[in-house]
Structure 1
Amino acid sequence: MKFLAASLALALGAPVPTIAAELPVAATYAMPETETWDMTSAAGRTYRIFVSRPSGEAPEGGFPVLYILDGNAMFAGFAEARRIQGFGGRDLDKMIVVGIGHPGDQVYDPRRMEDFTAPVTSPALKQLYAKYPSGGRDAFRDFLLGELKPAIAKRYAVHPVRQSLYGHSLGGLFALHLFYSHPGAFDTIVAASPSIWWDDQAILTEEAAWRTRAEKDGKAARRTRMLLIAGEFETEGSIAQDSAALAARLAPLSSAGLRSEFLLLDGETHVTVPHRSITATMRAVMRWP
């Protein structure tokens, strides 16, 4: 009857009566099987920690853990993908997803640039990003490895080795930094759309130093798996090209035991890569041994 009355009113040119007052009061949606809290690092920086965890008992040895950088932007997609995989029959839901973000509602908080980068040396980049701090990579790394990971281990039944890290864009650059500088800190590193271009490709110096170690000692190559992901249309900063070139440089190290893979997502841009990369990331996390 209400629909009929509204249609008749439109036909006669009369005002349409509002029914908004009869709608239920909206409430904030809480994603099932998740929780969040704020955590202040030893360096005095506050992070918002998002956790998605299975409701059942942990498997023998504990749940695998996937740490997600840029948690404000990325966590929800990964959390719901994890939960719905319970219907897939491949146990991709049997992991804990930990998003690392910042307090507030911004999708990408400007503080991420400080967390994910080393001190900038390029004069042009310094001028371009003069309003934003950078160079806090070491402090964030210490928080992630020395404070957050132990806190998660105390709170949940997690596997001590089956722990992975996902980073996109500058987060992907940070993921590469950990891959080169702290082999074994994570079982699997997923670097999606890594900003290899940043600061005149300064990350290549770290890669060269890591390669020298890996060629001399196969243990450095075997300690962490690498999944590189890029979008077909990521021309900004030559991200797709740089990622493919890195994959080609890593491939020969398979003879030293390195397990690396490159996934080029057709039709995707820098903004759309994260959504398409979720399932591939979850599969990489669950590979064992």
Structure 2
Amino acid sequence: MRPAVAAQAPINLHQQTLWGHSYGGLLVLHALLNRPGEFAHYAAASPSLWWIDVNVDAGFKQRLKGHQPHVLLMRGTAEPGNPRGPNIGQPDQRMQALKSQLSGLPGLTVDYHTFDGMSHGETLPASLRYVLQAP
């Protein structure tokens, strides 16, 4: 996709952001954990962490060397922790655990933003707007 975009408009390869919502948020996290040097910013909005466990492994630490990506995790405060089953613990428990794992790694900048009162669906446009307005 990058070559197609570059053919239409100038792009700054050093300031590219990968954004995704829900399962797209999982895609963002997958890209971060497997190719941390591909983008300068990774923005995962309401990633479906209930669907699959996302864990930082030793291989990621090796792949991260020499890269300093910025990670933005976002969710709405009205989102359930697991829309398909019982909610055990705090709704954002998985997101907080992921934030803690990522925040402990040198070279990685991690921010966590919540959208007050917003549901899963409402966070899609709100998170995209938030990312597009970021400096």
Fold conserved between structures, TM > 0.5: yes
RCO greater where, 1 or 2, for CA within 8 Å and sep 6 or more? 2
Which of 66, 69, 73 is the aligned partner of 1:219? 66
Report how far residue 154 of structure 1 moved: 1.9
Which of 201, 208, 223 is the aligned partner of 2:57? 208
Report how far residue 232 of structure 1 moved: 0.9
Aligned counterparts of 1:229 and 1:189: Cα–Cα separation in 2: 11
Aligned counterparts of 1:245 and 1:233: Cα–Cα separation in 2: 18
- Higher relative helix content: 1
Aligned counterparts of 1:159 and 1:212: Cα–Cα separation in 2: 26
Please tell me the residue identity of whatever aligns with 1:250. L
Which of 46, 50, 58 is the aligned partner of 1:193? 46
Aligned counterparts of 1:187 and 1:197: Cα–Cα separation in 2: 26
- The equivalent of 1:251 in structure 2 is 103
8 Å contact kept, 1:233–1:240 = no
1:250 and 1:267, CA in 2 relative to 1: closer, same or farther beyond 3 A? same
1:242 equivalenced with 2:87 (yes/no): no
Report how far residue 228 of structure 1 moved: 0.2
Report how far residue 178 of structure 1 moved: 0.3
8 Å contact kept, 2:44–2:74 = yes
Please tell me the residue identity of whatever aligns with 2:29. L
Report how far residue 210 of structure 1 moved: 4.5
1:274 equivalenced with 2:128 (yes/no): no
Aligned counterparts of 2:65 and 2:39: Cα–Cα separation in 1: 17
Instruction: Give the unaligned 5+ runs of structure 2.
Output: none
Please tell me the residue identity of whatever aligns with 1:262. Y
- Report percent identity of matched pairs: 31
8 Å contact kept, 2:34–2:60 = no
Q: Return the index of the structure with the highest Cα Rg.
A: 1
Please tell me the residue identity of whatever aligns with 1:227. L
Show CA shifts across 1:136-156 (max 9, x none).
xxxxxxxxxxxx111111221
Report the aligned-residue RMSD: 2.1
The 5 Å alignment of 1:56-135 reads: none
Please tell me the residue identity of whatever aligns with 1:174. L
Show CA shifts across 1:48-104 (max 9, x none).
xxxxxxxxxxxxxxxxxxxxxxxxxxxxxxxxxxxxxxxxxxxxxxxxxxxxxxxxx
Aligned residues: 128
SS in 2 for 1:160: coil
Please tell me the residue identity of whatever aligns with 1:235. P
Report how far residue 242 of structure 1 moved: 1.3
Which of 224, 228, 240 is the aligned partner of 2:73? 228
SS in 1 for 2:16: strand
Aligned counterparts of 2:78 and 2:59: Cα–Cα separation in 1: 29
SS in 2 for 1:268: coil
TM-score by length of 2: 0.82
Please tell me the residue identity of whatever aligns with 2:111. E
List, as ranges, runs of 4+ consecutive aligned residues in structure 1 with deviation greater than 6 Å. none
TM-score by length of 1: 0.41
Report how far residue 261 of structure 1 moved: 0.3
1:260 and 1:210, CA in 2 relative to 1: closer, same or farther beyond 3 A? farther
